[in-house]
Structure 1
Amino acid sequence: MPRLSAARISHFLPSLVLLLAGLAAAYVRDLNVFFTSLFNVLPTLVLLLGGAYCAVYRRQRELFLMVTVYIAYYLLDTQTDFYRDNGKLREDAAVVFHLVCLILPMLYGLFGAWAERTHLFQDIVARCAVLLAVSAVALGLEQSFPAALLEWLADIRWPSLHGQWMSLIQLAYPMFFIAFVVLTVQYVRFPRPLHAAQLVGLIGMFWALPKTFILPFTLNILCSQVMLMIAAAVAHEAYQMAFRDELTGLPGRRALNERMQRLGRNYVLAMTDVDHFKKFNDTHGHDVGDQVLRLVASKLSKVSGGGRAYRYGGEEFALVFAGKTLEECMPHLEVIRGVIAAYNIQLRNPDRPQDDLQGRQRRAGSAATSVSVTVSIGVCERMPEQRTPEEVLKAADQALYAAKSAGRNCVVSYGQNRRGAVRTAATA
Structure 2
Amino acid sequence: MRNHLLRQPGHYLFLLPALLVGLLVWSATLDAEVGSPVHRILPLVLTCLGMGLALSYTRVRAVCLLLAIALAFALLHGLVGNFQHTGAVSAYTPLLFHAVSLWLPVAFLAYGVWPERGRLRQDLLLRIALGATGVGVFALLAMQAPQGMHDLLSNRHWPWLPTGWSALAQLPSLAFVGAAAVLTVQAVRTPRPLHTAMLVALLVLWLMLPRAFRVPSLLPALTSAALLLVIAAMLQESFHMAFRDELTGLPGRRALNECLQRVGSTYTIAMVDVDHFKAFNDTHGHDTGDDVLKLVAARLATVGDGGRAFRYGGEEFALVFLDRPGAACVDAIEAIRAAVEGARLTVRDRAARARDDAVGRLQRGAGGGGTVVQVTVSIGMADSGVGDTPQAVIKAADRALYAAKDAGRNCVRAHGQQRVLAVRGGMAQDSASR
Question: In the TM superposition, what is the alpha-carbon distance from 1:355 to its structure 2 partner?
Answer: 11
Distance 1:87 1:318 in 2: 66
> Are the counterparts in 1 of residues 105 and 176 from structure 2 also a CA contact under 8 Å?
yes
Note if contact 2:242-2:254 (Cα within 8 Å) is conserved in structure 1: yes
Distance in 2 (CA, whole Å) between partners of 1:210 and 1:31 is 15
* CA distance in 2: counterparts of 1:4 and 1:376, whole angstroms: 25
* Residues 2-13 of structure 1: pairs in structure 2 closer than 5 A: 5-7=4-6, 8-13=8-13
Deviation at 1:17, TM superposition (A): 4.7
Contact 1:3–1:191 (Cα < 8 Å) also in 2: no
Q: Distance in 2 between matches of 1:244 and 1:119?
A: 24
Q: How does 1:111-260 map to 2 (within 5 A)?
A: 111-159=111-159, 161-164=161-164, 166-260=166-260
What is the alpha-carbon distance in structure 2 between the residues aligned to residue 242 and residue 340 of structure 1?
A: 27
CA contact (8 A) 1:272 1:400 kept: yes
Q: Which residue of 2 aligns with 1:99?
A: 99
Q: How many residues align?
A: 415
State the alpha-carbon separation in 2 of the partners of residues 223 and 43 from structure 1.
7
- Which string of whole-angstrom CA distances, capped at 9 and with x for unpartnered residues, describes residues 263-283 of structure 1? 111110000001111122111
The answer to whether the 8 A contact 1:112-1:183 is kept is yes
Amino acid at match of 1:5: H
Moved more, 173-182 or 12-21: 12-21
User: Which sits farther off after the overlay, 115-124 or 42-51?
Assistant: 115-124
Shift in Å, 1:316: 0.3
Residues 314-350 of structure 1 show CA distances to partners (whole Å, capped at 9, x for unaligned) of 000000001111111011111211221122222344x
Question: 1:29-428, aligned counterparts within 5 Å?
Answer: 30=30, 39-159=39-159, 161-164=161-164, 166-349=166-349, 367-383=369-385, 386-417=387-418, 420-421=419-420, 426-427=427-428
Please give the alpha-carbon distance, in whole angstroms, between the structure 2 residues aligned to 1:110 and 1:60: 12
- What SS class does the counterpart of residue 381 from structure 2 fall into? strand
Q: Which amino acid is the alignment partner of residue 329 of structure 1?
A: C
* Residue of structure 1 equivalent to 2:362: none
> 1:146, CA displacement in angstroms?
2.1
Task: Kindly state the Cα deviation for residue 370 of structure 1 after the two structures are TM-superposed.
Answer: 1.9
Deviation at 1:353, TM superposition (A): 7.1
- Is the CA contact 1:197–1:229 (under 8 Å) kept in the aligned structure 2? yes
> How far does the alpha carbon of each residue in 1:42-73 deviate from its partner, in whole angstroms, 9 at most, with x for none?
11101111101111222111100000111111
Is the 2:410–2:423 contact (alpha carbons within 8 Å) kept by the matching residues of 1?
no
Unaligned runs of 5+ residues in structure 2 are 360-367, 430-434
Q: CA RMSD in A?
A: 2.8
Assess, with a 3 A threshold, how the Cα gap between structure 1 residues 348 and 325 changes in structure 2: closer, same or farther: same
Aligned-partner Cα distance in 2 for 1:289–1:208: 49
* Aligned 8 A contact 2:414 2:421 in 1: no
Distance, in Å, in 1 between the alignment partners of 2:292 and 2:22 is 45
State whether residues 346 and 370 of structure 2, in contact with CA within 8 Å, keep that contact through their aligned partners in structure 1. Answer: yes
Does the aligned pair in 2 maintain the 1:12–1:200 contact within 8 Å?
no
Describe the superposition over 1:164-208 as per-residue Cα deviations: whole angstroms up to 9, x where unpaired. 353211101110011011111211221100000000000000000
Q: Name structure 1 gaps, 5 residues minimum.
A: 361-365
Equivalent pair of 2:25/2:220 in contact (CA under 8 Å)? no
1:421 counterpart SS class: coil
How far is the alpha carbon of 1:6 from its aligned partner?
3.4
Of 295-304 and 340-349, deviating more is 340-349
Query: Would you say the 8 A contact 1:39–1:221 is kept in 2?
Result: no
Q: Distance in 2 between matches of 1:399 and 1:257?
A: 20
Do the aligned partners of 1:19 and 1:204 also contact (CA within 8 Å) in 2?
no
Query: Given that residues 15 and 201 in structure 1 are in contact (C-alpha distance below 8 angstroms), is that contact kept between their aligned partners in structure 2?
Result: no
Give the deviation of 1:27 after TM superposition. Answer: 5.2
How many angstroms apart in 2 are the aligned matches of 1:393 and 1:222?
49
Give the secondary structure class of the aligned counterpart of 2:372. strand
| 8 A contact 1:39–1:217 mirrored in 2 | no
Helix, strand or coil for the counterpart of 1:379? strand
Moved more, 264-273 or 145-154: 145-154
Change (3 A) 1:348 1:76: closer
Q: Indicate the residue corresponding to 1:363 in structure 2.
A: none
Quote the Cα distance in structure 2 between the aligned partners of 1:15 and 1:265: 36
Deviations 1:254-299 (A, max 9, x none): 0000000111111100000011111221111111111111111111
Deviations 1:354-410, CA, capped at 9 Å, x for gaps: 9998xx9xxxxx943322111111100101x61111111111111111111111111
- Once structures 1 and 2 are overlaid, which stretch shifts more, 130-139 or 386-395? 130-139
- Compute the TM-score of the two structures, normalised by the length of structure 2: 0.88
Structure 1 residues 184 and 353, CA gap change in structure 2 (3 angstroms): closer
- Once the two structures are TM-superposed, the CA of residue 92 in structure 1 deviates from its matched residue by 1.3
Q: Percent identity?
A: 42
What is the CA–CA distance in structure 1 between the aligned matches of 2:380 and 2:122, rounded to whole Å? 52
TM-score of the superposed pair, with normalisation by structure 1: 0.90
SS of alignment partner, residue 90 of structure 1: coil
Distance 2:162 2:354 in 1: 56
Matched AA of 1:6: L
Conserved 8 A contact 1:106-1:179: yes
Structure 1: distance between partners of 2:371 and 2:53: 50
C-alpha separation in 2, matches of 1:258 and 1:201: 32
